[in-house]
Structure 1
Amino acid sequence: MKINLTTVDTDRIIEMAWEDRTPFEAIEFQFGLSEKEVIAFMRANSKPSSFKMWRKRMAGRSTKHRELRVAGVDRFKCTMQKAISMNKISKR
């Protein structure tokens, strides 16, 4: 698997993979990595003990797969999450 990713992209993929409510489909949508590729990516970019802990944790998560989610949950982020704008200038 040879994909040119920046350090920021690599960190974000790892963060999304560890998040309980971020489905693998969201990672595929944003970075083009299928579930199997995410598993290989995590294996290559984690310590063996961290990878084993991650796999054990993800095995029991129904939220990591869109098909297993509760009906009606079709978004990638929480509705309570604030929108981030990179061009926003704070006004005092």
Structure 2
Amino acid sequence: MLTLMHRSVPSGTSDKIGTIQRRLAWPLRKDDTHKSRNGPNFFFPKIFMNLWFNVFLLVLSSVNLIFQGSIELWFNKLLESHIDRF
């Protein structure tokens, strides 16, 4: 047989605990809510453009090795034009 015992707490204690929890959860300054938005933007399109271009160059260089330099001139012109842009 299991009996449950209830402890009585003074009235208003839960209200005080709730107030403390709300104060701890609330930012100290108004600016604290925007700190995460001011960080670096990892979804900048230029980064992805460079990433995809590097993947393209890697695939192209692999194809160049397979065909033993038959597209080497085109590859070099493409590489030079990309470097001139940045």
Common fold by TM > 0.5: no
- Bigger-Rg structure (1/2): 2
Q: TM-score range by the shorter chain?
A: under 0.3
* Higher-RCO chain (CA-CA 8 Å, sequence separation at least 6): 1
TM-score of the pair, normalised by structure 2: 0.25
> Which of the pair is proportionally richer in helix?
2
